[in-house]
Amino acid sequence: MQRSVVKGLEDRLAHMAAVAERQMTSHHELEASLRQLYHLLYDTEIDEADRREVAGVAPLLLHALFVARMRLRDRIPAWQAQGIFTRTAQNALRDVFRIARYAIDMLGEIASDNRRLAPGEKSKRGFTGTGWNTLVHPAYDTGYNIPFRSGDLILMRGSAHNSAAIARIGDVDTQFSHIAMVYVDPDGKHWIVEALIEDGSVINPLEYVLDHGLGRAVLYRHPDAALAARAAKLAYERVLASKTGFAPHIPYDFSMRLTGRRKLFCAKLVAQAYADASNGEIQLPAYKTRFDHRNNKQFLKAIGVKAKESFAPGDIDLDTRFDLVAEWQDYRLTPLLRRQDMIMTKFFEWMEKRGYHFEETFFIRVIAVFGRLSSYLSERAKNLLSSVFPKVPRNMSRSCVATIVMLHKSAEEVIPALAALDDDNVRMTGLPLHPREMLAHLERLREVSAGRIGYLRGKA
């Protein structure tokens, strides 16, 4: 008799729980356990014959998988205290978190009957949807909606190709490209304080941000409510002053350096707010992302990254000074995010291991030049031109504009075939395409592309 795929998934959940409870004796044991767990999740197969069985219990399985992941995260302080949470162990845990999120996405898609976001259809507002769109840490799960609190952090991912690229330029791939801070004013209004590439540091209504095309979002909370509120107030007042003429505009910091206060990127804004509120006691992140491992230094230079290591948004995932309260995803949009992730994984792999690089054409140079010129126009003019030329800040270099455009257009050239394969697999089997299958298809595409993938050029 064929072994039940549900039983196989339950076995993997039990293995995750066992790793979380096991008393590790060395960093080697911890790393090996996490690597084995990653491969157990990555190699999970769901056959067409098992689809109905899985569909029936998918909501329960994805909840259980989330809880198992939370148990692993909750063990980080113990591993830190033992001195075994080394860099390689950190990266192994990040890999487990990433593949577990993909597994949850795929289960959620199956439970939602593989509905896809139709052209022109809006994604859900963040932290809404069915009971399995929002997953809550057991310590916070009261059965009621969790109110946002001043100082809360929201880790996010949108559906643009450059969001997938931002999530993958460090030494470990993540699924997030942005982090922002919640501020609740004295009148009870909820705001998001954030640093955006196109606008610099800004303040937006929370509802606007949550209803602005998110694919996934995670809510983190510092346990000291007074400290968190102080950090949010400092960030809000700092950015408000720059918007009301009492302080200079705060442009986006493309360097990714954590030093300096004149420019900010999204995670740097959060880091400085908590450092200021705690008189320097809280230094974020606990574990930084590195950029010095990349062989594609040409790409990092083109987009303006100068830091060797920094605070990437996804780093908050390992920082247990902040509780992971709840995690949300729109299962109609997660298939697109997964395709984008796999495309960027392969793009960067080809750049690092095969010497691929972006090659500008006359068309790209024209777009980059006019994109730069458009940054000096009024906001109204920028918005009018945004459908033709990128809306860019004045401090974005011409090479950065060109690289982002080439990245976007190259991904747009590849994604239709990947989407067609995914849709065909859903029609034939009722199951979404596994990331492993997407990566294999992209590699076959490279092999027959004669060294040309969009604006990427390399050896055939």
- Can you give the CATH number for the domain in which 315 is found? 3.90.1720.10
CA-nearest of 287, 281, 249, 248 to 267 is: 287
Residue 126 forms part of a structural domain: no
pLDDT confidence of 115, banded at 50, 70, 90? very high
On whether the pTM is more than 0.75, the answer is yes
Whole-angstrom distance between the N-terminal and C-terminal Cα of the chain?
Answer: 46
223/219 Cα distance (integer angstroms): 13
Same-domain pairing of 190 and 311: yes
Say what the pLDDT of residue 221 is: 98
Residue 290 shares a structural domain with residue 423? no
- Name the 3-class secondary structure at 119: coil
- Total of domains in the chain: 3
> 285 and 382: one domain?
no
Q: What is the pLDDT of residues 306-323, one digit of tens each?
A: 999 999 999 999 999 999
pLDDT tops 80 at residue 153: yes
Residues 151 and 240 occupy one common structural domain: yes
Do residue 261 and residue 356 come from a single domain?
A: no
Most confident segment among 5-9, 298-302, 326-330: 326-330
Spatial CA neighbour of 93 closest among 105, 107, 78, 109: 78
Chain position carrying tokens 């490209």? 177
pLDDT band of residue 160 (cuts 50, 70, 90) is: confident
Residue 168 lies in a domain: yes
User: For the residues 298-311, what does the mean pLDDT come to?
Assistant: 91
Residues 297 and 259 in one domain: yes
370-423 per-position pLDDT tens digit: 877 877 767 766 665 565 555 778 888 889 989 998 999 999 999 999 999 999
Residues 198 and 290 in one domain: yes
Which domain-ending residue is among 310, 329, 348? 329
Whether 123 is in a domain gets the answer no
CA distances from 10 to 41, 44, 432 (A): 11, 11, 20
* Lowest mean per-residue pLDDT among 157-161, 229-233, 289-293, 445-449: 289-293
Give yes or no for residue 1 having a pLDDT over 70. Answer: no
Q: Which amino acid is at 23?
A: Q
Q: Is the pLDDT of residue 140 over 90?
A: yes
Average pLDDT value for residue range 125-146: 91
pLDDT of the residue at 386: 65
* Residue 193 vs residue 170, higher pLDDT: 193
362 C-beta neighbours (distance < 10 Å), count: 7
Residue 312 sits in the same domain as residue 349: no
| Confidence check: pLDDT of 192 > 90 | yes
Residue 116 lies in a domain: no
User: CB–CB of 16/68 below 8 Å?
Assistant: yes
Domain endpoint, select from 111, 145, 168: 111
Same domain, 315 and 345: no
Instruction: Clarify whether residues 309 and 177 are in a common domain.
Output: yes
Domain range for 69: 5-111
Does residue 122 fall inside a structural domain?
A: no
Split at pLDDT 50, 70, 90, the class of 144 is: confident
Question: Of the candidates 282, 306, 329, which is a domain's last residue?
Answer: 329
* 304 and 357 inside one domain: no
Residues 129-146, mean pLDDT to the nearest whole number? 91
Give the pLDDT of residue 27.
96
The answer to whether residues 17 and 65 belong to one domain is yes
Confidence of residue 195 (pLDDT cuts 50, 70, 90): very high
Q: Which residue shows structure tokens 């004045």?
A: 394
Mean pLDDT check: name the lowest of 39-43, 256-260, 313-317: 39-43
Any domain includes 129: no
Percent over 90 (pLDDT), the chain:
71
Residue 161 is assigned to a structural domain of this protein: yes
Please report which confidence band the pLDDT of residue 2 belongs to, taking 50, 70 and 90 as the band edges.
very low
Identity at 326, one-letter amino acid code: A
Q: Is residue 127 part of a domain?
A: no
Long-range (24+ apart) CB contacts under 8 A made by 223-230 are 223/323, 225/149, 225/150, 225/151, 227/151, 227/274, 227/277, 227/278, 227/282, 228/149, 228/150, 228/151, 228/152, 228/277, 229/149, 229/150, 229/151, 229/184, 230/151, 230/277
392 near 401, Cβ under 8 Å? yes
